[in-house]
Amino acid sequence: MAALIDSLDIVITIDNITTHLSGSLGKKTYVITPYTNEYILYSRSNSGRCDWYPSSEIFYINPDHSDINKTINKINKIILKIEYLI
């Protein structure tokens, strides 16, 4: 799995092992996870910054997933901007 992730330019995932593999490989990673009052292990705040994996960005969504489309559109705009700059 690490070899497959290493062949990618960008990884979009939920909070699972893929987050840790891509983050440890230094891949640009966008993590989608529900917002809770508890911090996820690799981020000490709910700021979207990933303390363990600087190449990763965390996008929090409502626990009922009502804003998932908005979040995916936001990530899509970021990716399109990156492609435009390349």
Residue 11 pairs in a beta bridge with 29
- Angle 52-85-14 (CA atoms, 0-180°, nearest 5)? 35
Amino acid identity for residue 2 in this structure? A
Residue-level pLDDT at 86: 53
Distance CA 13, CA 32 (A): 6
What does the pLDDT profile of the chain (86 residues) look like in tens digits? 999 999 999 999 998 999 999 999 999 999 998 877 665 666 656 667 788 889 999 898 888 888 999 999 999 999 988 766 65
Q: Is residue 36 a contact partner of residue 17, using CB atoms and an 8 Å limit?
A: no
Domain residue ranges in the chain: 2-85
Q: HEC profile for 26-54?
A: CCEEEEEEECCCCCCCCCCCCCCECCCCC
Predicted local distance difference test score (pLDDT) of residue 85:
62
Note the pLDDT of residue 10. 93
pTM comes to: 0.82
